[in-house]
Structure 1
Amino acid sequence: MSEQTPQSRGGEARAEKLTAEQKSEIARQGAKTRWEVDRTLPKATHAGKLVIGNSEIPCAVLPDGTRLLTQEGFLGALGRSTKPKGRSQQPSEDLPPFLATVSLSSLITDDIRAATVPIVFRTPTGGKALGYRAELLPKVCDLFLEARRLNLLTAQQQQIADKCEILVRALAQVGIVALVDEATGFQDERERDALHQLLSLYLSEEKLAWARRFPNEYYRQLYRLRGWSWPVGKAKTPLVGTLTNKIVYDRLPDGVLEELRKRNPTEPGTGRRKWKHHQFLSEDLGQPDLRDHLLQLVAIMRISKDWATFMVHFEDAFPKPGAQLSLLLEDAD
């Protein structure tokens, strides 16, 4: 039995003097404190399993966008025990055991030291977990490979270096952040955020006053290519709007036409839109982009003898991923 210190003997003496009610209250307060701390832990919005080489690493994304690899999965990928013991199960500013060795000390940077502090978080299902920032994995791999090159490793560390080499090769094509996003499904959220940022710049917060954006030459060429007679007066065939959506608005950045349809819906009963789509494009980005597109479009129209020829030139100039030329040519029939 280990020798007791004066502090430990004093603590035991104080505990013996406590009543059952006092002990119960202390335990209750301790549980309350732990619950309040746990309640403030960030809860992952996305989670999944990242497969790198022969390793399968649970990963997660926090609300602030931090990508994490669970401590257990991280250690397993390095060939270490996935059940850390002692203090490594708790958040600590000390280096983890696999880095806290004399042989590696000269290679430990402040950046790595800061990244090795595990983050306590809650999984989407409510469980409590420890994780390392995903960016730490390639850094640790680079460190071990550099240590191997310098002949600094012990026999046990050589095994970790071998694992790191496999991981580095697997990560060579795709970054760790992109892999985590794919594994957790967070790339969908990232794409939505990117689209939102684009639309906020491309579209106007308020509808702009009407101004002529489509030159008459555009409509004249459209009628010529379709073999239609030029209309008397202002009325144009309703098909003009459908074709304009296809060859103009649908070739603006992805998501723009869909958002325009939301902001400028068709009127019940008439099926017509109250405003022109271009009135919702921003003056800084949307309107100039529309103008440039129309200038190129009219030039292609002029060199085309008919609609079918135009669509071939159009697809060459403005290719859209996944579009099939045969579908676009249907309007020429």
Structure 2
Amino acid sequence: MNSAEKIIDRFGGQSALAGLIGKRQSTVGYWAKKGTVPVSWHGKLLEIAKNQAIDLQPVDFIPIDDEKNLLPAESSLPKATHWGELTIGEKEIPCYVLNTGDRVFSLKGVVVGLMGTDGGQLVEYLKVRALQPHLPSDLLPAENGEIPALFKFDTGGEGFTKYAVGIKIERFNELLRAYSSALLDHHLSAHDSTKIALTDRQLQIATTAVRFLQASSDVGLVALVDEATGYQYERAEDALRIKLKLYLEEDMRKWEKTFPDPLWNEFGRLTNWKGSVHHRPKYWGKLVMELIYGYLDADVAKWLKENAPKPIRGQSYHQWLSGQYGLKKLTEHIWMVIGMASACQTMPELRQRMAERYGRTQVQMTLYLPVQH
């Protein structure tokens, strides 16, 4: 059985899984025939599996290699000790830490995340003439089509062993830099005949690569500071991933317009506002700063305020908000505040509950004034 068939079997077969995802059986049948489940469905299937108490892990989506192609021997392959997924745009790239200490990405995940496709061979993208002058030697395809930087490893799956082809993150960064250099040549090609221009498709990939390289640089510096100061042990587990998603986002709406009406309704009730919530008082902005931005990670809050995005037509607030990268935590926080506010009778009570929820201490200042005679 291939990886798709194993996953389908855990849900009770093609008809059962098709019913759970609201698709025809032919869709699931195509997955089985192809041998892999499209990356766009990984998150949905993991969510359904969790709700149905089905044992399904991100590593289960990695294609199973043919035993005859496993070279070197199984026992000598590096093995993953930790694994997870890194979000790039709408794509999830499986990532691993091996027992050798290397951090690696799944090759298929790299192609899907960077190239924006549901499959394909990396070697075909690396053969592009505009890219080749910028690639290090171990990323240049050999005559037989092999790429020296790629290697097979044991994904560490329990119950049955799975294998995948991976690329170390250092080599992935080299690939991003190569695309960055190729993009620079593209812009210079209009005035320099020695420079090679990119096609529209290659230009799209190069732009994605540059954005990810820049975002990774920002997050990397944050991680280094956190490690140097010891803050890495105090920050939220997903703080850096949220930062990466936010740094990658470029086209989101103004935050104030994404706040749902129930938030304003609660603010109106707790402040005894008699007017319409659509013509709310300016001091509610201070409440947003205090209760929403003030309880978010400071760096994330700063980014959100400084990158007010443009409106997107044809979508409701809920549809737009739930579809944006890096906004999951912001959305959860807003609705947590709404829920907490609904149980309060006054704004001071909400402030007190928020402080208790996030471990903040109330400070009371004493002010001395001259006695008036």
Where on the TM-score scale, by shorter chain, does this alignment land: which range? 0.3 to 0.5
The higher relative CO (CA closer than 8 Å, separation ≥ 6) is in 1
**TM-score (norm: length of structure 1):** 0.37
Normalised by the length of structure 2, the TM-score is: 0.34
